[in-house]
Amino acid sequence: DIQMTQSPSSLSASVGDRVTITCRASRGISNYLAWFQQKPGKAPKSLIYAASSLQSGVPSKFSGSGSGTDFTLTISSLQPEDFATYYCQQYNSYPRTFGQGTKVEIK
């Protein structure tokens, strides 16, 4: 199975900050990497697929990059509605696997 490791597990940031979350795969997954945002009590929401493609309707302050084993999600200017937990997931092979999540909290 491919292990997905996110870092950090949590972070505190202020409104307006630029935030970067990292996701590392235990072996190469090309660009078959997706990012999700989840708020408490809600279903996850797709943000990015194919490592860097923005899902329809997702604001451009979210961006993704990477290929192979190392990936990043960047939020260019953190807003109050962005405080949430973020997950990466690989869909290169079965079983699909998720990172453990990164909780973005208000400083």
Partner 1 sequence: EVQLVESGGGLVQPGGSLRLSCAASGFTFSSYDMHWVRQATGKGLEWVSGISTAGDSYYPDSVKGRFTISRENAKNSLYLQMNSLRAGDTAVYYCVRSSRLDVWGQGTTVTVSS
Positions in the binding site for partner 1 (CB under 8 A): 1, 32, 34, 36, 38, 43-46, 49-50, 55, 87, 89, 91, 94-101
Q: How far is the CB of 69 from partner 1 (least distance, A)?
A: 19
**Cβ distance to partner 1 smaller for residue 79 or 91:** 91
What residues contact residue 99 under an 8 Å CB cut-off, 6+ apart?
4, 5, 6, 23, 87, 88, 89
Q: How far is the CB of 8 from partner 1 (least distance, A)?
A: 14
Q: How far is the CB of 34 from partner 1 (least distance, A)?
A: 6
Tokens of residue 69, six digits: 């084993």
* DSSP structural state of residue 84: S
**Cβ distance to partner 1 smaller for residue 82 or 90:** 90
Q: Is 91 left (phi over 0), alpha (psi -120 to 50) or beta?
A: alpha
Q: How far is the CB of 74 from partner 1 (least distance, A)?
A: 19
**Cβ distance to partner 1 smaller for residue 66 or 99:** 99
Length of the chain: 107
What DSSP line would sit under 5-33, residue for residue?
EEE-SEEEE-TT--EEEEEEESS--TT-E
**Cβ distance to partner 1 smaller for residue 94 or 107:** 94
